[in-house]
Structure 1
């Protein structure tokens, strides 16, 4: 027997299972696209809750959206700084030293409230950029995924 790859076992097989249960290819494409976009929301720790709320509200598959969210984690980490820097640029703000522990500690010691305000705003700037990028990205992903998932569904129907 051929051993399944991680991708086959953890992504493709659950999607095929959902198709067998009658979930439409469009609903699965929406789940995958929203899970991908929400999975890069530029606030650490917020993606799981965002995915849960959106999946609940739109009646999407919770395990699949959370799986995609989990798989997006490395990309999420890579995109944090670009979101923050783009936000600072968009709002005409100086780039704060986000990854220098000594600078962070020094700024915090000087004025803890100013530190929280400054870095809180960096987060807000990143969220604004994400809000600008997320809708077209989700739409693009949805339309790119819908066709292949429809094809998987058709193959699945022929096999049944």
Structure 2
């Protein structure tokens, strides 16, 4: 496939799966500010350092703040590769923050296998590492949410003007 064809395919995907739902929300009267908040929270909750928890987190926060569930879950879904990439950095930063030795973590697959083999032993071995990662995420989350919110809000306002 040529580079131009790949760009057209990606542009079509991006248009259909990201831009069109957002424009649809704007046309239904949802404010750019509410959509910016939904995008920011979906992105930051989507990198929460505990696998399998982000869908529930996004759903609960979305219900609590009356945010659009499909949009927050879509953003959460797109964040999955970044969540995987950030697991180890969050865990290592947390261990360093708390002055703890690094617990050996070789791969996500190995962690999954160990959890499936014995959930209780997994919690004994890795529970505090998860807590340390959550603390680092909690320190990073507020400024990241603010940056994403204030960064996307002008773009969404312009999109709202253009779509009317």
TM-score range, shorter chain: 0.7 to 0.9
1:143 paired to 2:140 = no
* TM-score, normalization by structure 1: 0.87
TM superposition shift of 1:156: 1.2
TM superposition shift of 1:70: 0.2
TM superposition shift of 1:14: 0.2
Q: Which residue of 2 aligns with 1:133?
A: 140
1:9 paired to 2:16 = yes
Q: Which residue of 1 aligns with 2:99?
A: 92
Q: Which residue of 2 aligns with 1:124?
A: 131
1:34 paired to 2:46 = no
TM superposition shift of 1:5: 1.3
Higher mean alpha-carbon deviation, 3-12 vs 81-90, is at 3-12
Match of 1:5, SS? helix
Moved over 2 A (4+): 115-118
Question: Which residues of structure 1 form unaligned runs of 5+?
Answer: none
> What is the Cα-based RMSD across aligned positions, in Å?
2.1
Q: Which residue of 2 aligns with 1:83?
A: 90
Question: Which residues of structure 2 form unaligned runs of 5+?
Answer: 1-7
Q: Greater Rg, structure 1 or structure 2?
A: 1
